[in-house]
Structure 1
């Protein structure tokens, strides 16, 4: 009978013994109470408590945590906007008691302060300034939270304004404005590009005309020089200038006909002609030269006569 009663007693003893030990994970703090009153704070590792008398009242994580708060408010230019504020906070290791007993709902407390600061700062700014000065808003939130939460055992690591979401109609209007500005800039660039192309094309055409004129002038100069040399050569063999000119014209006439005949894909139409056409042209040229010389001689004689009368 005694042996039968020993087994339950041993079992209960083992249960009580094992319940006296507990393990606390890394970056965690456990609050121990004795008969409902704070006893101690246990950190990571194997810990021991008095069974039945002591109990684990709660656990607090010592890791950095993040709370996202979405605040809707109005800017100075009467635009409703939603801001997402991310608050990174941590329980101070030396103030676990304050964090556990002074503040029951830390998330609600942090959220209230974020709402208060954001709704105090954003109405002072225009919508464009909210985007530009979002870091200033985050700094103001952190400063206010740091002062308030430090007494409760919480340290604010960083606050970030991670999203700014204006009203849908405002976003559509802003997109239209941005699109118009970009189209305006694009039109200006296109206009500048076309103007540059026109100017450069005009410069190129002017340079082409100049070079073309220079080439024609050089060509005519060389032709004249060649004709002069040809006449001199013919004069040396007893052919006078008139005969030499006729020979050169006829030669060029036949050279031209030969060059035209060599073009297989030419659309040129040859009108009826005869070898006498070159002779007639030469005769007309000679006649005009003679008439010009006669007029020049008459004008010279008349001028000489006037000079003698004046003396």
Structure 2
């Protein structure tokens, strides 16, 4: 029976003597209240009633978020969120456990001190642009202070900069106005380009139109010159030829107007001497046409006589009687 009690007592002693340590964790063992050793991950042994676990330290990287309200150089109050990533140096667990009781408070105090020393030197816009410089300054100051206590500062980040709400609205209005100004400048430039392009197109159109009109008039003039030369070759002078051409164009115009189904307008001369001028032109044109016909007949007679064929004579043209009747 006594043996059974001894076995049970030994079992309880063994159970109380063994303990486990998790990965990335350090356990501080004290013996009679004095530091004895540091145990790392795995199954560990301690003397019952003599040794005790004084504490456990997390060796993984931790993050502490610190929110600070400070003032910039241009008297704008901002709230900044600084995220500090740190860990306990495994070789300096003793200093981390015994030298510093509240590491989070210590880190927070240093962050406040550095940020409130750096931000008042900068204007609000510079705070946004140089936030990385502020983070580097915080990290440097923390490393110099916390390495003594066994803590390593991995990184510091400025994760948020929040100005006063009125300042934020003012900045948004400034940005909106600046963007509207830029948009107006681009719209004005686009409108200018459209106007210049339209003016160039109109100028080119006018140039081509003028060139077309010039070519048209040149061809008309060339045709008139050729027509006058043909009429002059058969003995019709320039005045008579011009009259014939004018009358021909006049009747061609009247014919084209009459050919239009929807046309009900005819343009006539309205000056007092228009009738006399038109009559004289008609007389001259008829005379010229008769002369052309006579010349063509003579040319035909010559060709027939060369072939031995005697063409009967035609009656003399009635041009003189026609013109004399008008003259009377």
When normalised by structure 1's length, the TM-score is 0.80
State the 1:48 CA deviation.
2.0
Q: Could you tell me which residue of structure 2 aligns to residue 191 of structure 1?
A: 188
- Closer/same/farther in 2, CA of residues 281 and 52 from structure 1, 3 Å limit: farther
- Closer/same/farther in 2, CA of residues 156 and 230 from structure 1, 3 Å limit: same
Cα distance in 2 for residues equivalent to 1:122 and 1:217: 78
State the 1:206 CA deviation.
2.0
Cα distance in 1 for residues equivalent to 2:276 and 2:153: 109
Report whether the alignment pairs 1:156 with 2:156. no
State the 1:38 CA deviation.
1.1
- Which one of the candidate residues 280, 283, 286 is aligned to 2:281? 283
Cα distance in 2 for residues equivalent to 1:282 and 1:52: 151
- Which one of the candidate residues 83, 95, 98 is aligned to 2:95? 98
- Which one of the candidate residues 223, 227, 232 is aligned to 1:230? 227
Report whether the alignment pairs 1:48 with 2:58. no
Report whether the alignment pairs 1:270 with 2:265. yes
Cα distance in 1 for residues equivalent to 2:213 and 2:231: 27
* 179-188 vs 81-90, which moves further: 179-188
- Which one of the candidate residues 171, 175, 193 is aligned to 1:174? 171
Task: Give SS of 1:252's match.
Answer: helix
What whole-Å deviation, never above 9, does each CA across 1:144-179 have from its counterpart, x for those lacking one?
111110110001111111111000000111111111
- Closer/same/farther in 2, CA of residues 242 and 18 from structure 1, 3 Å limit: same
State the 1:279 CA deviation.
7.5
8 Å contact from structure 2 (residues 27, 40) kept in 1? yes
Report whether the alignment pairs 1:18 with 2:18. no
8 Å contact from structure 1 (residues 27, 61) kept in 2? yes
Task: Give SS of 1:103's match.
Answer: coil
CA RMSD of aligned residues (A): 2.7
8 Å contact from structure 2 (residues 247, 281) kept in 1? no
State the 1:12 CA deviation.
3.5
* 239-248 vs 100-109, which moves further: 239-248
Matches within 5 A, 1:31-180: 31-180=28-177
Report whether the alignment pairs 1:248 with 2:280. no
Report the structure number with the largest CA radius of gyration. 2
State the 1:56 CA deviation.
1.9
Unaligned runs of 5+ in 2: 285-328
State the 1:261 CA deviation.
5.2
* 152-161 vs 16-25, which moves further: 16-25
8 Å contact from structure 2 (residues 231, 237) kept in 1? yes
* 54-63 vs 243-252, which moves further: 243-252
When normalised by structure 2's length, the TM-score is 0.76
